[in-house]
Amino acid sequence: MTKTQTRPRPLDGITIVSLEHAVAAPFATRQLADLGARVIKVERPGSGDFARGYDQRVRGLSSHFTWINRSKESLALNLKQAQARAALMQLLQTADVLVQNLAPGATARMGLSYDALKAHNPRLIVCDISGYGQDGPWRDKKAYDLLIQSEAAFLSVTGTPEAPVKAGISVADIAAGMYAYSSVLSALLLRGRTGEGSHIDVSMLEAMAEWMGYPLYYAFDGAPPPPRTGASHASIYPYGPFTAGDGASLILGVQNEREWQAFCEGVLQRPELARDPRFAGSSQRNTHRAELQALIAQSFGRLSAAELAQRLDTAGIAHARVNDLAGLWAHPQLAARQRWREVGSPVGPLPALLPPGASNAFSCRMDPIPAVGQHTRAILAELGWSEEQITRLQAQS
């Protein structure tokens, strides 16, 4: 063990109970577990979190589940049974946080609303994650990631002029999970000052609306929205994919006048373009992007991707490869920074990335991915249940 691994983690001693499935809540609680929290994931007996069945791409495990469920304990309870609900209530009497993203109104019907739980545990923090929030006319609408991407106008600015395109990852779920994570951290800080718990209401729509801030203000006061421009930036040019003479593509970005001058002189080797009034400023370059694109294509067509990358490096212009997933697995920067670890799972050791934000004060928790109900007996025994009671409860499930 290294010295940092023996140091306390920020959330050591904090217990999170989570009624979670899919992505948003599990992503939030896995990050809390990374910081040392004990996360008890309540699942359906047998099938568990339905995200376990999304695919079998990781030696039989689901890719989604593998990604966001390490370092958790799985407690299998059929919450339609009174005894199971009693066990959950017993657990919540001493827990620090409840996170849930069940169907709208489901926890309230089980007596697990913040107001009901506060009477039993005034220090409890309750974080509800839903599509549209805990009130308002859309409160009870079902919401999935793609639906929220669409409702939040994300699709209206993503894709090509011919067709909108969704994000290739669950961006609305991830946005909600990130705000749940940061909100729970802030609630724990507040409780440290007041001694009282609080209620957090995270809406996927509101999370995505926040992330849509730039296009919202771009279309301020009835102005036209930014156009869909594929992998190019909608309002900054040149910023996007460009093809070299050997057919390979690079993404590059020129964001200010200093970079524009360096790009003209060192990459295009046409310094006079830096003084061309058509391209004098970001707005002008965007207005005349078709003309500029033709000039760039003419210059890049004489270079291989390696030669182009060399010119961009020398000129100090930001650029990147158009990488694929195999390339990301093998990325030299991730390897050089030793970002990969192994975690246990029901199918054996699996590679896992350390969470972003390397700290010199502690090592993030990187514990196994649980099987459904793997920790049920241990958790119930910890609550004082006898072997007979545990066996009877499991038999009823």
Helix orientation angle between 204-211 and 171-194, rounded to the nearest 10 degrees: 100
For 59-119, the DSSP string reads TTB-HHHHHH-TTEEEEE--TTSHHHHHHHHHHHTT-SEEEE--STTHHHHTT-SHHHHHT
The answer to whether the CB of 97 falls within 8 A of the CB of 125 is yes
Distance of alpha carbon 104 from the chain centroid: 22
Among residues 233, 288, 331, 375, which one is catalytic? Answer: 233
Active-site annotation holds for 233? yes
The answer to whether the CB of 282 falls within 8 A of the CB of 289 is no
SS3 53: helix
The answer to whether the CB of 253 falls within 8 A of the CB of 320 is no
**What contacts 343, CB < 8 A, 6 or more positions away?**
70, 71, 349, 350, 352, 366, 367, 368, 369
Name the token pair of 281. 């400023």
Report in angstroms the alpha-carbon separations of 89 from 9, 84, 117, 253, 376: 27, 9, 8, 54, 15
Rounded CA separation 275/282 (Å): 13
Of 163, 167, 164, 266, which Cα lies nearest the Cα of 208?
Answer: 167
Strands (E), the chain: 15-19, 38-43, 72-76, 97-100, 125-130, 199-203, 239-243, 249-253, 318-321, 340-343, 350-353
Name the token pair of 291. 């003309």
What's the chain's length in residues? 397
What is the CB neighbour count within 10 angstroms for residue 46?
10
Report in angstroms the alpha-carbon separations of 37 from 72, 160, 193, 365: 9, 43, 19, 9
Active site residues: 233
